[in-house]
Amino acid sequence: MSMRRRTLLKVIVLGDSGVGKTSLMNRYVNNKFSQQYKATIGADFVTKELQIDDRLVTLQIWDTAGQERFQSLGVAFYRGADCCVLVYDVNFIKSFDSLDNWHEEFLKQANPPDPEAFPFILLGNKIDIDGGNSRVVSEKKAREWCAAKGRMPYFETSAKEDYNVDSGFLSIAKLALAKEREQDIYFEGIPEAVSETGQGGGCAC
Ligand code: GDP
Ligand code: MG
C-alpha cells in the first residue's frame, strides 16, 4: 500500500466547568499544570502530533472557553468532531451526574451518522486530591456507566500529577483512527466508475 497521508482528528473535550478539561489538555500538549483557575486558554484548539503504527496523526483538541456553564457551545465547536472526551471530577458527584447530559448534548449537536459507534472516552480526573480520600464516585460506578454506554473506555487521571493523561488521549486517538480506517476500507471498496456518470446515458468516451 502507498504511504499514508497525515491524518487530522478533531477531538472535543466536554464536561462541567471546573473538572479539569483545560488542565488535562495543557498537561497533554504542553506538559504543564497550573493551580490557578483559568476559564480558558484563549484559543479554540491546540494540536498535538502523534505517530500511531504507520500513520502520522495530528490531534486537534478543542477546548471550551467557559461557555460550558451555559451549555451553549455553538455549532462550530461540535462540527466535524471525530471523537469526544468526556471528563468529570471523581470528588464531585454533580460532575458525574452531568455526564448523561453531555453525552446526549454531544450526540444532538454533532449528530454523527452512527451514534452507537461514535468514539467516546471517559476521564475521571483529580484522583490525586486528598490521596483519594475525598472521592465520591468509585471506579466501579464509573465503569458501570461506561459499560451502559456501549463499552466506552475509562481512565482515572490526574492532570496535576501527570497520571494517565497520555494514555487517555492515546486511547481516544487510536479509537478514532480505527473508525477512520473502517471508512477508508468502505470507500476503497466503491468502484471508481461511480464518479464518471455520463450525461443522459450517452457514451462517456
Ligand atoms: P475546566 O473548567 O474543566 O477547564 O477546569 P480547569 O482545567 O480550569 O481546572 C479547574 C481547577 O481544577 C483548576 O484550579 C485546576 O488547577 C484544578 N485541577 C485540574 N485538574 C486537576 C487535577 O488533576 N488535580 C488537582 N488537584 N487539581 C486539578
Ligand atoms: Mg476550561
| Residue 79: partners with Cβ closer than 8 Å, 6 or more residues away | 110
Ligand nearest to the CA of 163: 1
Which residue minimizes the CA distance to atom 15 of ligand 1?
A: 35
> Distance from CA of residue 53 to its chain's centroid?
20
What's the CA angle centered on 88, arms 73 and 149, to 5 degrees?
A: 85
Position in ligand 1 atom list of the atom nearest CA 158: 23
Q: Which atom of ligand 1 is nearest to the CA of 163?
A: 23
What are the boundaries of each domain within the chain?
Answer: 6-30+44-197
The predicted pLDDT at position 205 comes to 47
The pTM for the full model equals: 0.86
Nearest to 126 by CA among 166, 99, 162: 162
**pLDDT (tens digit per residue) in 28-73:** 998 888 877 565 555 578 899 999 988 899 999 998 866 676 667 7
Q: How far is the CA of 21 from the centre of ligand 2 (A)?
A: 5
Question: Rounded to the nearest whole angstrom, what is the distance from the C-alpha of residue 63 to the centroid of ligand 2?
Answer: 7
Q: Which CATH class is domain 6-30+44-197?
A: alpha beta
* Distance (Å) from CA 16 to ligand 2 centroid: 9
Please tell me the residue having the least CA distance from ligand 1 atom 25.
126
Q: In this structure, which amino acid lies at residue 158? A: S
* pLDDT tens-place string over residues 138-170: 999 999 999 999 989 999 999 999 999 999 999
Cα-to-centroid distance, 30 and ligand 2 (Å): 15
